[in-house]
Amino acid sequence: MDERVSESGGSATGDLALEERVEGLELLYRIGIALTAERNHNRLIERILMEAKTLCHADAGTIYLVTEDNTHLEFAIMLNDTMGTALGGTTGRPVVQPPIPIYDPETGEPNRKNVATYAAAEKASVNIEDAYTAADFDFSGTKRYDEANGYRSKSFLTIPLLNNADDVIGVLQLINALDTETGEVVAFEQEHQRIVEALTAQAAIALDNQLLLEAQRTLLESFIQLIAGAIDAKSPYTGGHCERVPVLTEMLTEAACKDEGAFASFDLTHEEWYELRIAAWLHDCGKVTTPVHVMDKATKLHTLCDRIDVVQARFEVLKSETMVRHLEAGGTRGDRDLKQALEQIGDDLRFLEMSNTGGESLAKKDVVRIREIGARTLGFGNEKRPLLTDEEVENLTVQRGTLTAKERLIINGHMVQTIKMLEALPFPRDLKRVPEYAGGHHEKMDGGGYPKGLYAGDMSIPARIMCIADVFEALTAGDRPYKEGKTLSQTMEIMGDMKRDNHLDPDLLDLFVRSGVYREYAEQFLPEELVNDVDEASILATRPKPLKLPSDAARQKRWEGFLPEYEILVDDVMGLVQKVTRRKD
- Is residue 357 a contact partner of residue 299, using CB atoms and an 8 Å limit? yes
- The contacts of residue 303 (CB under 8 Å, 6+ apart) are 293, 577, 580, 581
pLDDT (0 to 100) of residue 394: 87
**Position with higher pLDDT, 364 vs 28:** 364
Integer angstrom CA distances of residue 269 from 34, 507, 515: 18, 22, 21
The answer on pLDDT for 565 being more than 70 is no
Whether pTM > 0.75 for this model: the answer is: no
- Is residue 202 a contact partner of residue 47, using CB atoms and an 8 Å limit? no
pLDDT (0 to 100) of residue 570: 52
Confidence of residue 211 (pLDDT cuts 50, 70, 90): confident
Confidence of residue 573 (pLDDT cuts 50, 70, 90): very low
Confidence of residue 160 (pLDDT cuts 50, 70, 90): very high
The answer on pLDDT for 112 being more than 80 is yes
**Position with higher pLDDT, 405 vs 310:** 310
- The contacts of residue 577 (CB under 8 Å, 6+ apart) are 291, 293, 294, 303
Tell me the mean pLDDT in the region 494-519.
95
Q: What is the per-residue pLDDT across 441-463, written as a single tens digit (0 to 9) for each?
A: 888 998 888 787 888 778 899 99
Between CA 315 and CA 319 the distance in angstroms is 6
- Is residue 193 a contact partner of residue 156, using CB atoms and an 8 Å limit? no
pLDDT (0 to 100) of residue 583: 46
Integer angstrom CA distances of residue 262 from 177, 295, 509, 515: 52, 37, 12, 13
pLDDT (0 to 100) of residue 503: 93
Q: How far, rounded to the nearest angstrom, does the alpha carbon of residue 273 sit from its chain's CA centroid?
A: 10
Range with the lowest mean pLDDT among 92-101, 429-438, 441-450? Answer: 441-450
Q: What is the per-residue pLDDT across 1-35, written as a single tens digit (0 to 9) for each?
A: 344 454 434 444 445 566 666 666 676 667 667 66
pLDDT (0 to 100) of residue 168: 92
pLDDT (0 to 100) of residue 198: 84
Confidence of residue 150 (pLDDT cuts 50, 70, 90): very high
- Kindly report the average pLDDT of the chain as a whole number: 83
Strand partners, 125: none
Backbone angles phi, psi at 120, to 5 degrees: -70, -45
pLDDT (0 to 100) of residue 18: 66
Range with the lowest mean pLDDT among 208-212, 234-238, 267-271, 580-584? Answer: 580-584
**Position with higher pLDDT, 278 vs 290:** 278
- The contacts of residue 266 (CB under 8 Å, 6+ apart) are 256, 257, 259, 461
Tell me the mean pLDDT in the region 295-302.
74
Domains, the chain, with CATH or none? 6-214 (3.30.450.40), 242-295+410-485+501-509+543-578 (1.10.3210.10), 308-401 (no CATH)
Between CA 466 and CA 549 the distance in angstroms is 22
Q: Residue 160's closest CA among 65, 67, 88, 80?
A: 65
Greatest mean pLDDT range, 472-476, 516-520, 570-574: 516-520
Strand partners, 185: 178
Amino acid identity, position 360: E
Q: What is the per-residue pLDDT across 323-361, written as a single tens digit (0 to 9) for each?
A: 887 777 766 555 777 888 888 888 988 988 888 887 667
Rg over alpha carbons for the chain, rounded to the nearest Å, is 36
Kindly report the three-state secondary structure assignment for every residue of 329-374: CCCCCCCHHHHHHHHHHHHHHHHHHHHHCCCCCCCHHHHHHHHHHH
